[in-house]
Copies of this chain bind each other. A is one copy, B any other.
Amino acid sequence: MVGQLAADSIERRSGVSLWRQIADKILHAIAIGDFAENAALPPEVALAERYGVNRHTVRSAIAALVQEGVLRAEQGRGTFVLSRKRLSYPIGARTRFSAGLQGQASERHIVLLASSVEPASQRVAEGLGLARGTNVIRLETRGEADGRPVSRAAGWFEARRFAGIDAAMAQTGSITASLARFGIDDYLRQSTMLSARHADAADLADLDLQPGAIVLVTVAVNVTPDGQPIQFSESRFPAERVELKLSAL
């Protein structure tokens, strides 16, 4: 069976180019499983007709997705899907990166990109229940599954209580393991705020995205089982590679 592509129209003079809109549609179709891995896309002329655009416009969209590593074009044969559908990242009471992606990716880990000590901003202080300006440690991390970046996060911890968590993080590649060194053997997700926006320049670089991509943004507070805030975090997930599965929390 040939994959389905939504026939609904695309918007002209919207500030988003037609090729970008078409690329998004193809990504979406792949993400929801309309095209299996290695499946052939409809030929360029068919796509052009379906969307009511010129063949060259479709070619621009395909070129972007080839560049992005999603498609592979072969002269004379066709254009084929490389990447599989989106990962499903569970968010619940016990949100854990590696455990959550178990079964969906054979290799998963968190890379520590940078760390620093800084005075808590308004929202970080509020989230952690600290006075504004209290020193906090910020960990900048990237989550990877089978070598693909699937999340980019900043996490804040009270500096006094968690001195050295940056080194622990670099060593273990796991938040859970790092917190264990500070006597925290369990922690719960207290709250999660969720929004979405276009990826900014930093997101594009860190997550290996193409301009115009969308990121899901979660802002969360983790607490000990008795309700003491230990971590405030903001995570970005590329919407084209990840969807969030909200489970019991």
Interface residues of A (CB under 8 A from B): 6, 8-11, 13-17, 19-21, 23-24, 28, 31, 64, 86, 88, 91, 93, 191-198, 200-202, 204, 210-212, 214-216, 239, 243-249
Q: Indicate which residue in B8, B15, B20, B196 contacts A214 across the interface (CB closer than 8 Å).
A: B196
Residue pair A91, B17 in contact (C-beta under 8 Å): no
5 A–B contacts, CB within 8 A, in A order: A6-B200, A21-B198, A194-B216, A216-B216, A246-B246
A-B pairs, 6 with minimum CB distance = A14-B211, A15-B20, A11-B211, A196-B196, A192-B246, A194-B244
Q: Are A214 and B197 touching (Cβ within 8 A)?
A: yes
Of B9, B215, B246, B249, the contact of A201 (CB 8 Å cutoff): B9
With A and B bound together, what is the CA distance between A91 and B244 in angstroms? 13
Kindly list 14 other residue pairs between chains A and B, CB separation below 8 angstroms, not including A14-B211, A16-B198, A194-B243.
Answer: A14-B210, A15-B23, A16-B212, A24-B197, A24-B198, A28-B197, A191-B245, A192-B246, A193-B243, A193-B246, A194-B246, A195-B243, A196-B216, A197-B214
